[in-house]
Amino acid sequence: MPIGTLANVAAVLAGASIGALAGARIPERFRTTIMATLGLVTLTIGFRETLATDEFPLVLGAVLLGTVIGETLRIEDGLESFGQMLQRRFTRTPVAIDVDAPETAEPAAPRRSFAEGFVIASLVFCVGPLLIVGSIEDGLGNPDLLLVKAALDGFASIAFASVYGWGVIAAALPVAILQGAIALGAGALESALSDPMLDALGTAGGILLLGIALRLLDLKRIRVANMLPAIVLAPLFVRWWG
């Protein structure tokens, strides 16, 4: 059994539930500061990861080609549509504002969209070498790395869900699928991925994290999901031409 993967999924579900339930009670200024903090942390991690490889030109080429492929396939539009489908399936339509309510009543702080929370949380939880390496080790019987990732994702999901609401809980699905699939194929992947290939994967993931950070900081809405093919292309480029 992939114990680390199960723990990671459970942490996301628990953290997102806590954040979504508590989010309405958190003042807007706190939620704004929380998102800014998450953006800065993500920015720092992204910068650190981009320094992981000596094959940066190959990674840059993989990111550019991967982005072209992702834009052609419209990956982010597909993820957002999937998030909206989940929202329609599992959440109720918001109740209309009561026009007879006292004028002094403070309106509820607006929440960001369910689909946006699903996309951003999924990207943060599923981008990075820790997912790959941790899932491989989990499949080989050592869940330690994924248990660490579970703790990190659990706390992050509380913060995300306090702003984005229940959309974050849906991010547990791609976490389960990706980490479970990698754990099941751990033996083959362990022999196929060399250290330079993992470094290239980490650098490509770091570039994607920088794009996520810009979104979290409300500086620019980059379609980061359309860059996801670079995660696959970067280690392949290093294997072929590194």
Of 3, 10, 30, residue with least CA distance to 163: 30
Length of the chain: 242
Rounded Cα distance, 223 and 82, in Å: 16
pLDDT tens, per residue, the chain with 242 residues: 689 999 999 999 999 999 999 877 878 888 888 888 888 988 998 898 888 888 999 999 999 999 999 999 999 999 989 888 888 887 654 443 343 444 444 443 445 688 889 999 999 999 877 888 889 889 888 898 899 899 989 988 998 998 888 999 999 999 999 999 999 888 888 888 888 998 998 899 899 999 999 988 989 989 999 999 998 999 999 999 97
Between the alpha carbon of residue 35 and those of residues 42, 139, 159, 184, 193, the distances in Å are 10, 34, 8, 35, 35
Under DSSP, the state recorded for 235 is H
For the beta carbon of residue 230, count every other beta carbon within 10 angstroms. Answer: 27
Which of 179, 122, 137, 131 is closest to 5 using CA atoms? 179
Give pTM, 2 decimals.
Answer: 0.80
